[in-house]
A and B are shown apart, each in its own frame.
Chain A
């Protein structure tokens, strides 16, 4: 089982360049999430989606855009990369959160992004 797959795994960008991070899940999950992880700050939610064609802002959405055109894919875009966006980016997915459900979010392996 592939689970949650993120591409690429590593990337170095110059300030002002753009790129797209791809997240794909094969578990038929409704919900998908993008987080960034910085030292000493835990994980912070960037954007999320509760179904195909939907997106919503998380805690730190500025400078990022997302799209969920297919249920299994969730794309994170950086239109004009800045050094402050140097981070490790994690994608996660889960079933619809229902009362009494104990399903966790499943995480990908992360994308390590450096902006010079």
Chain B
């Protein structure tokens, strides 16, 4: 059974600081996704990582994938208040009917 674990689950940081969210998964995967969710809202796709060593960046967020370590990271650079949200990683296995297994989510609060 595929398990996906994120840490930390709660993160409070100051504006301007850097931090990393970690996503570990238990079996081999075909691709990894990062989503953002604002309170009471839907999930917004941030990144799709397909292969070992993949790195994608959008603004102050950068995601990477190490399939050998079964680890993905979401790095936040010089955080701003607008990045406050819950971030989910999710892992897909094509052999499971293309089902996504989600981590518990990391609730990020960026304080002025």
Contact = CB atoms under 8 A, between A and B. Distances in A.
Interface string B81-105: 0000000101010100111111111
Interface string A71-108: 00000000000000000001010101101101111111
Contact of B48 (A59, A104, A106): A104
B2 to A, nearest CB: 10
A92 B31 CA distance: 17
Interface residues of B, number: 26
B69 interface: no
A58 B48 CA distance: 22
Interface string B1-13: 0001000010000
Interface residues of A, number: 29
B94 A97 contact: yes
Contacts of B44: 107
Contacts of B35: 104, 107
Closest 3 CB pairs of A and B: A104-B45, A97-B98, A42-B102
Given A104-B48, A105-B45, A110-B41, 15 more contacts: A31-B98, A40-B104, A42-B103, A42-B104, A42-B105, A45-B99, A45-B101, A50-B97, A59-B101, A92-B43, A97-B30, A99-B94, A104-B33, A106-B45, A109-B41
